[in-house]
């Protein structure tokens, strides 16, 4: 019926599956699928291009028709995307096994040919999924008369490029982790673009509720005065565009100049640009409602992640993984939880969930991000 239904469900289930598998590997030495680059590449790839892209697909297939006032994607189109995503997951999981079988056929004479035969199905399916997603929404975004949603177009194009780069590195026999880090940068830019749209509704609903709470105690002639006491929330494009640009520049620098002080200063610049976004949120008591504060926390994790990355590249005694995990677990994880809970329930016709589990889930994500980031600080054992 709608893109978010299967993809949000797959996003939630896949997060549990991948993290259970990774926890089993770390805690008990259980095997994870053999892929080029080893277990760490499998873990990072599946959380970024499996879990992350599933959430992105569910969001854009649902939100872009609404943002551009175009018809919803037909169920058969959504089904094709779901089947393509599932096929890509299976092909990547079994890519190592396929390469081993191919090596047996070739009697180990040509390791490069075996790697190609094993990994090519995963490459074609995953690149195909990312490019098909871009092709599906690009005409609608571009034809929008005001072209207000082009941030999604550039973000999806960047994700398609990094997915292709990852698989090309694997096929060439190179370590592909740099592309996962580039994908994290593209994901963070998409988070800023998507959160600004969601926050406009959530924050202004919270402000309306705060006004309604105050009005009964006042006479009718004070209604206008009461409304003026609470500012309207606006996700201002200049601040958002500056933050997206700063994240993009840092991501390119990290890709081309890893470990350089230039990258460190750009990381601090990205952190400052995201911190600047927080100025839009300081509208009083409404900020501390459940959903508004959850979205606000995403920006804090985003800014702190780039702050730690910048300091690490400038020689501070901490590992870059501290900032990377604050972004990947914290900012990405919390923003995807917010999207699943807010966009999913809203588009299904339900009110936002007020049950305690949401706060527990959000708190658990933040705690996990902080603990994993702490493992990269001085005198702290690595996780």
**Average pLDDT of the residues of the chain:** 90
Q: How confident is the model at residue 111 (pLDDT cuts 50, 70, 90)?
A: confident
Place of tokens 């469900």: 9
φ, ψ of residue 207 to 5 degrees: the values are: -65, -40
Higher-pLDDT residue of 298 and 100 is: 298
Q: How confident is the model at residue 109 (pLDDT cuts 50, 70, 90)?
A: low
- Do 128 and 57 contact (CB within 8 A), yes or no? no
Q: How confident is the model at residue 379 (pLDDT cuts 50, 70, 90)?
A: very low
User: Which percentage of the chain shows pLDDT scores above 90?
Assistant: 73
Q: How confident is the model at residue 303 (pLDDT cuts 50, 70, 90)?
A: very high
Instruction: Give burial (CB, 10 Å; 0-12/13-18/19+) of 20.
Output: exposed
Domains in the chain: boundaries: 1-174, 175-212+234-382
Instruction: Please tell me whether the overall predicted TM-score, pTM, comes out greater than 0.75 for this model.
Output: yes
What is the model's pLDDT at position 233? 79
Give me 357's structure tokens.
């589990």
- pLDDT, one tens digit per residue, over 199-217 is 988 988 888 887 777 766 5
H or E stretch covering 299: helix 290-313
Q: Is the pLDDT of residue 327 over 90?
A: yes
Q: Helix or strand or coil: residue 315?
A: coil
What is the model's pLDDT at position 189? 97
Q: Is the pLDDT of residue 188 over 90?
A: yes
CA–CA distance, 146 with 142 (Å, rounded to integer): 9
Higher-pLDDT residue of 163 and 283 is: 163
Q: Helix or strand or coil: residue 145?
A: coil
Q: What Rg, from alpha-carbon coordinates, does the chain have?
A: 22
Give me 135's structure tokens.
């092709």
Mean pLDDT over residues 123-149, rounded? 93
Q: How far is CA 113 from the centre of its chain?
A: 34
What is the model's pLDDT at position 225? 47
What is the model's pLDDT at position 380? 44
Measuring CA to CA, which residue among 125, 190, 165, 152 is closest to residue 65?
A: 152
CA–CA distance, 48 with 51 (Å, rounded to integer): 6
Place of tokens 């490069």: 112
Q: Is the pLDDT of residue 381 over 50?
A: no
DSSP state of 332: I
DSSP state of 52: I
User: Which percentage of the chain shows pLDDT scores above 70?
Assistant: 92
- Do 40 and 97 contact (CB within 8 A), yes or no? no
Longest dimension (CA), the chain: 88
CA–CA distance, 253 with 245 (Å, rounded to integer): 12
Q: Calculate helix-pair angle for 177-214, 333-347, nearest 10 degrees.
A: 50
């Amino acid at each position: 019926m709608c893109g978010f239904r299967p993809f949000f469900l797959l996003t939630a289930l896949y997060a549990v599956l991948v993290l259970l598998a990774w926890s089993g590997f770390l805690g008990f030495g259980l095997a994870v699928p053999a892929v080029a680059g080893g277990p760490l590449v499998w873990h990072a790839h599946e959380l970024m291009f499996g879990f992350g892209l599933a959430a992105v697909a569910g969001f854009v297939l649902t939100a872009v028709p609404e943002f551009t006032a175009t018809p919803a994607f037909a169920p058969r189109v959504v089904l094709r995307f779901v089947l393509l995503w599932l096929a890509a997951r299976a092909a990547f999981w079994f890519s190592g096994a396929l390469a081993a079988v191919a090596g047996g056929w070739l009697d180990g004479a040509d390791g490069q040919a075996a790697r190609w035969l094993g990994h090519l199905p995963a490459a074609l399916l995953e690149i195909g999924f990312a490019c098909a997603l871009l092709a599906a929404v690009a005409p609608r975004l571009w034809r929008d008369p005001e072209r207000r949603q082009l941030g999604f177009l550039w973000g999806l194009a960047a994700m398609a490029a990094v997915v292709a780069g990852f698989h090309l590195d694997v096929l060439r026999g190179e370590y592909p982790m740099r592309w996962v880090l580039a994908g994290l940068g593209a994901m963070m830019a998409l988070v800023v673009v998507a959160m600004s749209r969601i926050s406009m509704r959530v924050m202004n609903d919270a402000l309306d509720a705060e006004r309604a709470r105050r009005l009964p105690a006042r006479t009718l002639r004070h209604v206008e005065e009461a409304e003026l006491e609470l500012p309207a929330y606006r996700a201002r494009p200049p601040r958002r565009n500056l933050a997206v640009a700063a994240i993009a520049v840092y991501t390119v620098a990290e890709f081309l100049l890893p470990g350089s002080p230039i990258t460190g200063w750009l990381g601090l610049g990205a952190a400052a640009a995201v911190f600047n976004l927080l100025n839009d949120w300081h509208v009083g008591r409404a900020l501390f409602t459940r959903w508004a504060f959850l979205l606000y926390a995403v920006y804090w994790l985003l800014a702190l992640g780039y702050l730690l990355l910048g300091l690490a590249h400038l020689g501070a005694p901490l590992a870059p993984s501290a900032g990377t995990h604050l972004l990947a677990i914290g900012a990405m994880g919390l923003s995807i939880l917010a999207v699943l809970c807010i966009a999913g329930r809203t588009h299904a016709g339900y009110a936002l969930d007020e049950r305690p589990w949401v706060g527990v889930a959000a708190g658990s994500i933040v705690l996990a991000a902080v603990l994993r980031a702490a493992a990269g600080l001085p005198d702290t054992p690595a996780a």
